[in-house]
Chain A
Amino acid sequence: MIRRVLFILAFIGIIASVYAAFIYAPTEPQMGHIQRIFYFHMGTVWVATIAFIIVFIASIIYLWKGGRKWDILAYCSAELGVLFLTLTIITGSVWAKPIWGTWWTWDPQLTTTFILWILYIVYLVLRASAGNDTKKAKYAAVFAIIAFIDLPLVYISVRVMRGISPVVFGPGGGGIAPEMMNALLINMAACTLLFIILLLERIDLERMKDAVAKLKLSEN
């Protein structure tokens, strides 16, 4: 029941976010229509951030208390996080080509995102190689924790590499039109709903896999 409600909400949310991004939000005077991709860009990166925080927390609990459900949560969340981050990188590149004149630059934020992306792909490789083996699932949890701790250091080091003095990102930009802010919030909400649904479905899938494995075992 709850899932059906969520599903309907997400459906409405996605339609609303498309409307908000393409029609409701005003056109940015300098960048023009290309700026509209920014709403999806922010939505996906927001979800990816949540997903990786979930991976981190679930991994800690898994190591600490055990329990297959934490392992499943971490694994499924990481998968979705990588998916959404891939979308973030793609939408970012599409935006950057006309605005910056290049698909990619090695600026600190982009580099860190790229490394983040690689780190969680490595996590997925490690986790996938474990299958149902709980011992190896623990390796993935250990890696997730180490990777998460590593991220701030990677960010700082990439800034050092580029010779930019390491300042914490302050409140920059500002002065965005209220309609734009609304469109952004709608997009973030819709992406979050989508993420929750996908996560629940993915967890179900993993549980079914477990059930099948158990049935096969009992048959033998």
Chain B
Amino acid sequence: MNKVWAIIKKDIVTELRTKELFSSMLVFALLVIVIFNFAFGFSVDLLDLAAPAMLWISFIFAGVLGLSRSFALEKEGSAIIGMLLTPTDRSLIYAGKMISNTIFVFIVGLITVLMFILFFNYGLTTLVPLIPVIFLGSVGFVSVGTLFSAMAINTKLREVLLPILLFPIIIPVIVSAVKLSEQVLDGNSLFAASFSLKLLVSFDIIFLTACTVVFEYVIDES
């Protein structure tokens, strides 16, 4: 557990010092929302319908941006070799990276939601149930994303490959998260879409387990 914590701490400290990941993710999420606004021609009816999708598209795009940096940062200066040389189990490295990524993506998600409140005039309290959805969504998205980020960084295509690998896999996350957000924005409780909730949770569990198991094949001797 100490080892996992050490990796998380390292990532957070790096981020606090550089702030490059966070600022780029946030600005990106903001920009996506602005572009959607232009694309929809400021029509209020359309925005209401499209709000859950917009929320998740901006959130996922920003998240991919952050994830692709996650291992690029390790690769620069070959920090990853140092990490692999320590007597740490590979699955612990995965856990560390995955948790720190989740923290970043989750915070970006929360801020995106706040921007939604600001721009689209939603009540603050109606969005409280969105927090668990954002959390579960981040976990599912990051669990696979961390694995693929470690893979993509060692290929020729690098960052370009990550969204291509990731997007088709996380379709269940997007679908169930959008469904749940729809319910929340309509003012219903989360359990109105309890099946989506179950789907999201099972995705998280399945892929956390699977990715922990296969991570060692991805990171070896890179």
Residues of A within 8 A of B (CB): 63, 115, 118-119, 122, 125-126, 129-130, 135-136, 138-139, 141-143, 145-147, 149-150, 153-154, 156-158, 160-161, 166
A129/B210 contact (C-beta < 8 A), A122-B164, A143-B151, A146-B144 known = no
Closest chain-A Cβ to B93's Cβ sits at a distance in Å of 15
Q: In the complex, what distance in Å separates the CA atom of A141 from the CA atom of B213?
A: 13
Contact (Cβ within 8 A) B172 A150? yes
Instruction: Using CB atoms, name the residue of chain A closest to B196.
Output: A160
Cα distance A154–B173 in the bound complex, in angstroms? 9
The residue of chain A having its C-beta at the shortest distance from the C-beta of B211 within the complex is A146
Among the interface residues B172, B179, B195, which one has the most CB atoms of the partner chain A within 10 A?
B172
User: With an 8 A cutoff between CB atoms, is B171 at the interface?
Assistant: yes
Chain A residue nearest in CB terms to B169: A150
7 nearest A-B pairs in the assembled complex, by CB-CB distance = A157-B172, A157-B175, A153-B172, A139-B151, A142-B214, A161-B175, A138-B217
Interface of A: prevailing SS: helix
How far, in whole Å, are A19 and B221 apart by their CA atoms in the complex? 55
From residue B207, how far is it (CB to closest CB) to chain A in Å?
7
Q: Please give the number of chain B residues whose Cβ is less than 8 angstroms from any Cβ of chain A in the complex.
A: 33
Check B199–A160 contact: CB distance below 8 A: yes
Query: With an 8 A cutoff between CB atoms, is B222 at the interface?
Result: yes
Which residues of B are found within 8 Å of A160, using beta-carbon distances? 175-176, 179, 195-196, 199
Among B155, B172, B210, B221, the residue within 8 A (CB) of A145 is B210
CB distance A125 to B164 under 8 Å?
yes
Interface presence of B203 (CB below 8 A): yes
By a CB distance below 8 angstroms, the chain B residues around A138 are: 217-218, 220
Residues of B within 8 Å of A156, CB to CB, are 172, 199
The reply to whether B217 and A141 contact each other, CB–CB distance below 8 Å, is yes
Given contacts A136-B155, A158-B175, contact A153 B165 (CB under 8 A): no
B144, B195, B218, B220: the one within 8 Å of A166 (CB):
B195
Which of B156, B161, B221 is close to A135, meaning CB atoms less than 8 Å apart?
B221
Residues of chain B at the chain A interface (Cβ within 8 Å) = 144, 147-148, 151, 154-157, 161, 164-165, 168-169, 171-172, 175-176, 179, 195-196, 199, 202-203, 206-207, 210-211, 214, 217-218, 220-222
State whether A126 and B154 are in contact (beta carbons under 8 Å apart), knowing that A119-B169, A157-B199, A166-B195 are contacts in the complex: no
6 contacts between A and B (CB under 8 A): A115-B168, A126-B151, A136-B154, A136-B155, A146-B169, A157-B176
- In the complex, A218 Cα to B61 Cα: how many Å? 47
Tell me, rounded to whole Å, the shortest Cβ–Cβ distance linking A95 to chain B.
Answer: 25
| A contact residues around B179 at 8 Å (CB) | 160-161
A194 CB, nearest partner CB in chain B, Å: 28
A residues less than 8 Å from B156 (CB atoms):
129
Please report the C-alpha to C-alpha distance between residue A191 and residue B214 in the assembled complex, in whole angstroms.
34
How far is B171's CA from A156's CA once the two chains are assembled, in angstroms? 11
Distance A153 CA – B210 CA, assembled complex (angstroms): 14
Partner of B157, one of A119, A129, A143, A150: A129
In the complex, chain B residues whose CB is within 8 Å of the CB of A142: 147, 151, 214, 217-218
Q: How far is the CA of A141 from the CA of B216 in the complex (A)?
A: 13
* Bound Cα distance from A156 to B156, whole angstroms: 34
Interface pair A119/B168, CB less than 8 Å apart = yes
Partner of B207, one of A130, A136, A143, A146: A146
A63 near B214 (CB under 8 angstroms)? yes
Contact yes or no, A146 B214, CB < 8 A: yes
Task: Give Cα A38–Cα B214 distance, bound, in whole angstroms.
Answer: 39
